[in-house]
Structure 1
Amino acid sequence: MVRPHFRPSQLAAPTSILTPHLRVATYNIHKGVRGIGRAKRLEIHNLGLGVEALDADLVFLQEVRHFNHHEAKQFQRTSFGWPEQSQAEFLAPEGYEVAYRTNAVTKHGEHGNALLSRWPIGDIGHHDVSDHRFEQRGLLHVPLIWNGLEVHTIVAHLGLIHASRVRQVERLAEYIATAVPPHVPLVVAGDFNDWGSKLDGPMRRTGLHRALPPNGKAPPATFPSLVPVFSLDRIYMRGMHCVGMKVPRGGAWVRMSDHLPLVAELELGEP
């Protein structure tokens, strides 16, 4: 028997925030720390303000620390020290639900993907798509109820090698075929590490089209944050289309991560 995605109490959507647009953001937070050596600094508190400022219904996060004993000890004496909560819980604005699963286990801790949702979430899934022992990668699968409608989301952070990314997209397709109902809207977002647009074709064959600016402009660059050149951070969809897109810019965003967040307004319906 397949376990249901939702408990009955989760099916009632909050009517105070009903909207025809689903505002989605994806952001690689670089584990909440920037710099090296003596210049290393904790940015998780600034990131909390940044995530709240995005005002997104859904925030897809990558490189999120569950815990790290070494960095917790390093920053414990600062005026704003290492949070007692996991980074996903710490970054969630008030009232948001949190989903997190670990992708990588290291000597001092764990990190992975997270979803912060303004809408009720269901059973959380995780699928390992690691392609070799040097990179631990996974997919975070979170169904949710938006405006009374079931929508599925997958947070992705693909590998650094193109051939690995292609194989990971194939595994994503296999996972969707077995774990996501075929006729529900689906949003897959994250850091795809694709330095061109080489994955757009394989993703289309999976049934997912890329969210692009509605004015016909090129996809906005998000990496590196100081001088963005590459659009590594992306949103792919099924059963939805993009009606607005932006990348927040400015010194504060440059400081917080080596990526900039990507924000899109989505509506139901194919493009």
Structure 2
Amino acid sequence: MGQTMIKVLTYNIHKGFDRYNRDFVLHKIKDHLKDAQVDVVLLQEIQGRHLHHESRISAWPDVSQFEYLADNIWPHFAYGKNAIYRKGHHGNAILSKYEIAEWSNLNLSRFKRASRSLLHGMIELPNSNGPLHLLCVHLDLIGFERKRQIRALKHYVDSNIDASDPIILGGDFNDWHGGLGGSVESQLGLQEAFRQINGKYAKTFPSNWPMFRMDRIYYRGVDLLDSYCMERQPWSELSDHLPLYARFAI
């Protein structure tokens, strides 16, 4: 049985605003995501609804941001609404060219307005013998909260995913000082794609002068082919984060 290649991108889109939080650039993000030609997009800080922006910004889409980005490129999507406030909500999303057979959302935050969660989607690829688990995460800014969230993530994976099933876990780990990497790899039995290729985690924040290794793509049960950070224009002018890419065979 032949292998199937799957291309994955993880991206914190800053709710569709540029790195300075001034200009609404979701239409540009959509165009460049399309040009990236990936099979799966793992998105953080994506706006599900915002009543104030809907009435104030002429370019604001008539549908949710995840539906707008998905369009006819990624016909299957899931959205985890996590940060909820009077004017709307935002969270994580998975966009996929393959059908998402099942999905669930686990809120990892103890604070109502914080978008800290695990979005889990299951897809089946051609020629595969079972599901591929896609996990999209956004962890806390505070170190002890991130550690607690990693423990919650491990408990969820151990309880809901067979040990032999392949996993791709991507997102914004907010790991300012690099202390989480070993925990994720040892506790979950995962490897980080960019680090496997380049020997270190990718610098993804801030996008115009990346200094911090915030965003990751971890995996198990698939063969890593390539991984890189999209660090040049136009990406450095869009969100405050840079997107991270990985290509696998399964």
Which position in structure 1 is the counterpart of 2:7?
A: 23
Distance in 2 (alpha carbons) for counterparts of 1:213 and 1:137:
24
Contact 1:138 1:157 in 2 (8 A): yes
- Runs of 5+ unmatched residues, structure 1: 1-17
CA 125–40 in structure 1, closer or farther in 2 if over 3 Å, else same: same
User: Residue deviations 1:232-251, cap 9 Å, x none?
Assistant: 11011121242211222333
Contact 2:104 2:120 in 1 (8 A): yes
Distance in 1 (alpha carbons) for counterparts of 2:3 and 2:127:
11
Distance in 2 (alpha carbons) for counterparts of 1:108 and 1:218:
40
- 1:53 corresponds, among 35, 41, 53, to 35
Mapping of residues 176-255 of structure 1, within 5 Å: 176-204=157-185, 205-255=187-237
Contact 1:62 1:190 in 2 (8 A): yes
Query: What is the root-mean-square deviation of aligned Cα atoms in Å?
Result: 1.9
* 3-state SS of 1:160 partner: coil
Distance in 2 (alpha carbons) for counterparts of 1:35 and 1:222:
12
Which position in structure 1 is the counterpart of 2:143?
A: 162
CA 55–71 in structure 1, closer or farther in 2 if over 3 Å, else same: same
Which position in structure 2 is the counterpart of 1:63?
A: 45
Divergent runs of 4+, >3 A? 131-134, 213-217
Given the alignment of the two structures, is residue 82 of structure 1 paired with residue 60 of structure 2, yes or no?
yes
Contact 1:200 1:209 in 2 (8 A): no
TM-score (norm 1): 0.84
Distance in 2 (alpha carbons) for counterparts of 1:24 and 1:179:
22
Distance in 1 (alpha carbons) for counterparts of 2:198 and 2:95:
29
The Cα of 1:54 is off from its aligned counterpart by: 1.6
The Cα of 1:202 is off from its aligned counterpart by: 1.4
Larger Rg: 1
- 1:91 corresponds, among 49, 69, 75, to 69
The Cα of 1:218 is off from its aligned counterpart by: 2.7
Distance in 1 (alpha carbons) for counterparts of 2:151 and 2:19:
35
Segment of structure 1 superposing worse, 157-166 or 143-152: 143-152
Segment of structure 1 superposing worse, 135-144 or 110-119: 135-144
- 2:156 corresponds, among 166, 175, 199, to 175
Given the alignment of the two structures, is residue 130 of structure 1 paired with residue 109 of structure 2, yes or no?
yes
* 3-state SS of 2:169 partner: strand
Contact 1:195 1:231 in 2 (8 A): yes
User: Residue deviations 1:203-255, cap 9 Å, x none?
Assistant: 12122221135544433211110011112110111212422112223332122
- 1:119 corresponds, among 98, 108, 112, to 98
TM-score (norm 2): 0.91
- Runs of 5+ unmatched residues, structure 2: none
Which amino acid in the other structure matches residue 168 of structure 1?
A: Q
Q: Report % sequence identity.
A: 33
Which amino acid in the other structure matches residue 61 of structure 1?
A: L
